[in-house]
Structure 1
Amino acid sequence: MPESDPIPMILLRNADVFAPAAIGRRNLLIGGGRILAMSTSPIEAPLGVAVENIDLEGARLLPGFIDGHVHVTGGGGEGGFATRIAPLPLRRYTHNGVTSVIGLLGTDDCARSTRELVASLLALREQGLGAWGYCGGYHLPPTTLTGSVRGDIAFIDPLIGVGELAISDHRSSQPTLDELLRIASEAHVGGLMSGKAGIVHLHLGDGPRGLDLVRRALAESELPARVFNPTHVNRRRGLFEEALELASQGCHVDITAFPVDEGEDAWSAADALQRYLESAAPAQRVTVSSDAGGCLPCFDANGQLEHMDVGTPGALLVTVQELLARGLPLDRILPAFTSNVAALLRLPRKGSIAVGADADLLVLDANGALSDVLLGGEWHLREGKSLRRGSFEPLPFPTHSQHGSN
C-alpha cells in the first residue's frame, strides 16, 4: 500500500482557551496527535517541518466531549427485532463535538454481545475516535469475553468497567445486594490490576426503589464509592435528589441528555446540571452523557412499549448551548462533558487542553455554534466543512446546524 502523506503540524494562534478552566489567549503547537506546546508568547515551529498556521482570532477553544454512555453497536429491541437500532456512523459523533465514546450494551445483551461491542470500539478507533467500553449489560450474569468481569477488564484493552447493569427497572435481572457487591468487587479489582477505571455503570429505571441498593452497598461494604456510577439520574426528580446525596458520599453521578416534556416528572440535562452545580454536591462528581444510539422508550403500566425515540450525540452540544444561552459560564459547565469524565474513567490524555494531552479540540464561534473539530491532530470539521468521514458513510453529510445534528 502506498504511504499516506505526513500529517502537517498545526499552529493555532490567538485561541481563547477553556482547558476546561478559562485560561485566556494562548498559542498552541500540535503534532503527532498531541499538544506539543502552549504559550501566551509566539511559538516557533521547527525548521523544515510543514506547519498549518491558523489564527483563531479569539474564538473559544475547548476539549472534545467525552460521551460516557453510547450504544456503539446500536440499541433498542424492546419492541421486537424490528426495533433494533443500527450503529451510528463516525460523523454523528465528530460533527457534534464528541471525540471519545464509552460504548455499552443495554437491554439486548443477548443478540448483541461483548465480542460485537469490542469489535465496534476497535473499528471506531481505526477511524480516529477515542473508544472504550464496558463488558456486561442490563442483566446477570454479565456477558463477557473471558468468562469474568475481572478478566475482561484486566485483559481486554478497550474494556474499562462493567455496565450498564440495570437496577430499579422492570427490564433488569432484579439483582440482590450480594450480587451487586460481587460484580462491583470484580470490577474494582480488575481496575486495580490494569490501571483502568474499574467501575460499575448502573442504569437506573424509574422504579420506586431508586438508588436504595447503592446506598446499602456503600453502607455494608468496603468498596470505594467511586466504583458505583449511576446514570439516568435525572429521569425522576426524586431520583435526582437521591443522586445529589450519593455524590456527597463519593459517587460520580451521570445525567442523561434525553428529551423531557413539559410537566414531566424529570429534569432535562440542562436543568439537572444547573441544579447540581447550584447544590452543595462536589462539582467534580457529575457528568453528562447522551445515550446515543440507544432506545428512549416509554412503557405502559404492564411494561409494554408504547413508543420510542433514539438518543443522539448532538444532545451534548445542545445542552452546552442551552446553558450558555442561560448565562452560565462555559468554564463552569464544561467539566461535566470533559475533565470530570476523564478523571472518573482514568483517561489521562483526554478531557483537557494541556501540553502532552491528545489534540482533541473544538472551536465554538461567537454564537456558540461548533465550527471546527480537531481529532487526534487531524481536522474532521473545519470552518463548518466536513473533511473526514467514516467507513461507508455517504456524501454529502447533512449541513451542521447550531443546535447539533440529529
Structure 2
Amino acid sequence: MSTSSQFTLLRNANVFAPAALGLKNILICGKKILYIGEDLPQLSDCLTVQEIDLTGKAVLPGFIDAHTHITGGGGEAGFATRVPPVPLSHFTSAGVTSVVGLLGTDDVTRNTQSVVAQVYALREEGLSAWCYTGGYHLPPTTLTGSVKSDIVFIEPVIAVGELAISDHRSSQPTFDELIKVAAECHVARLMTGKAGVLHLHLGDGERGLSLVRRALQETEIPARTFNPTHVNRRRALFEEACELTQKGCWIDITAFETGPDGYEPDEAILHFLEQGFPTDKLTISSDGGGCLPCFNQQGELTKMDFATSKAMTAIFFQLLQQGQSIDKILPFFSQNVANLLQLPNKGQLTVNGDADLIVLNTKQDDIDHVMALGRWHKFNGEQIKKGTFEV
C-alpha cells in the first residue's frame, strides 16, 4: 500500500465530523480535505486517484494528544529510569495525528530546546506537533528568557506547561508567582492568537485547585488561561475541577488508572456528562512517554510505569462499549482540544481542513486505518509508516 497519492477518494464513509453526518464521500488532495458530500466528485482520468470503498465504516477526525512527553519522561528513580523519546508509530497506531509535547519533573536534563527539536523531528516524519515551554518548576525553563517571548517568537511553542501545583515534586509556587506566569500566557495569546494557556499538573495535595480559584476571584486573567490536568486522580479534585468549567476553564482527564481515591478515566467522563457540566470544556490526554510513579507518604518512589497514547484510545473504545455514541464522546478527543489550543484545522473533518482521520473497523472496537496530513500511516490494521529509527 502506497502511503501517498495525488488524490484519495473515500467512498461510503460513515462520517463523524464530530457531528454524525451519515454516509458521505470524502475527497482528499495533498494534506487537505477538498470535498465531503453525498455525490461522487467527477475527476479526470489523467489524475492519480486512490479510491477506497469503506462500506459504511466510521470515519473520525484524528485524535489530538495534548499532553505527551515526546522527549520521554521519567528520571524519578535515577538516570536509568529516563524514558527515551516516543517514536512516531506509538502515536499514529493509536489514531493520534496531532501531539503537544511538554516537560514534567525532569526539566533539568531535558529542556525546551530538546522538546522543540523533537517537535520538528515528528513534523518531518509526518505528524502535526507543537509544544509547551516550561515544566514542573519555577523559574521555568525557556529558550528566550521568558515564557511570553517563547510563545511570541518560537512558532511551535503555543503555551506553558506542565507547571506543577499541589504536588511534593513542584517548586511550591506562591499565588503571586502563579498569576505572573498566567498573565504572561494571556498576553502572549493576545499578541499571537496562539493558545496561551497555563497547563497545570495537579498532584495529590489537599490544596487542589485553591490557587486557581483564588486567581479567578482576585485577578482579571480570563478563566480559559488556566488548564488543569490529571484532575481525575482524586474524587474531591475532580469535583472541584468540574465546577471550574462553569467559570470558563477547560479541564483535562488523564487516561491512566487511578488509585482508590480517584475516578477511572471512563468513569470520570461519564460522571461529567451525568452532572450536566459544559461538554465543550472537557478533554482527555494520555501523558504518553511520561512515568506513572507511585510514592509513599515520605515521598519515596515505590513503583513506576509508563504511559502511552494507546491508553487514551482504549478509553474511547471503552466508552463505546458502554453504550456512548461516537458523536457524543468524540469531541473530548478531538474538537474540544483543537478549540482550546487554537488549532483551527484540527479536531474536525471539514472542507479545507487537514486530512487527519481515523477509520474504525466494522465492529467499532479497533482502528483499521489512520491518515495524517493526507498520508496513510496505518492501513488494514498494519502500521505501514514508522519513525526514522524504528525497526
The TM-score range, normalised by the shorter chain, is over 0.9
Across the two proteins, how many residue pairs are aligned to each other?
389
Gaps of at least 5 residues in structure 1 are 395-406
CA deviation digits over 1:76-119, x for unaligned, max 9?
11111111111111001001100000100000001100000100
The aligned residue for residue 275 of structure 2 is 279
* Cα distance in 2 between the residues matched to 1:155 and 1:349: 21
1:47 Cα deviation after fit: 4.5
The aligned residue for residue 60 of structure 1 is 58
- Of the three residues 10, 15, 22, the one matched with 1:24 is 22
CA deviation digits over 1:317-351, x for unaligned, max 9?
10011000000111100000000000000000000
* Cα distance in 2 between the residues matched to 1:144 and 1:7: 40
Matched, 1:213 2:211: yes
* Cα distance in 2 between the residues matched to 1:162 and 1:88: 20
State the superposition RMSD in angstroms.
1.2
1:44 Cα deviation after fit: 1.6
1:164 Cα deviation after fit: 0.1
- Of the three residues 304, 307, 313, the one matched with 1:311 is 307
Amino acid aligned to 2:199: H
1:260 Cα deviation after fit: 3.2
Runs of 4+ in 1 over 3 A off after TM superposition: 4-7
Query: What are the residue-to-residue correspondences of 1:55-94 with 2, within 5 Å?
Result: 55-94=53-92
Identity of aligned residues (%): 56
1:257 Cα deviation after fit: 0.2
The aligned residue for residue 391 of structure 1 is 388
Matched, 1:45 2:48: no
* Cα distance in 1 between the residues matched to 2:99 and 2:301: 28
The aligned residue for residue 245 of structure 1 is 243
* Cα distance in 1 between the residues matched to 2:121 and 2:34: 27
Change (3 A) 1:5 1:59: closer
The aligned residue for residue 382 of structure 1 is 379
Contact 1:29 1:45 in 2 (8 A): no
Contact 2:3 2:384 in 1 (8 A): no
- Of the three residues 224, 232, 241, the one matched with 2:230 is 232
Amino acid aligned to 1:323: L
* Cα distance in 1 between the residues matched to 2:328 and 2:4: 38
CA deviation digits over 1:354-378, x for unaligned, max 9?
0011000000012221000011111
1:6 Cα deviation after fit: 7.2
1:7 Cα deviation after fit: 3.2
* Cα distance in 2 between the residues matched to 1:385 and 1:171: 40
Amino acid aligned to 2:274: E
Amino acid aligned to 2:129: A
Contact 2:163 2:199 in 1 (8 A): yes
The aligned residue for residue 399 of structure 1 is none
1:161 partner SS: strand
- TM-score, normalising length from structure 1? 0.94
CA deviation digits over 1:20-47, x for unaligned, max 9?
1111111010002100011111222245
The aligned residue for residue 117 of structure 2 is 119
The aligned residue for residue 357 of structure 1 is 353
1:280 Cα deviation after fit: 2.3
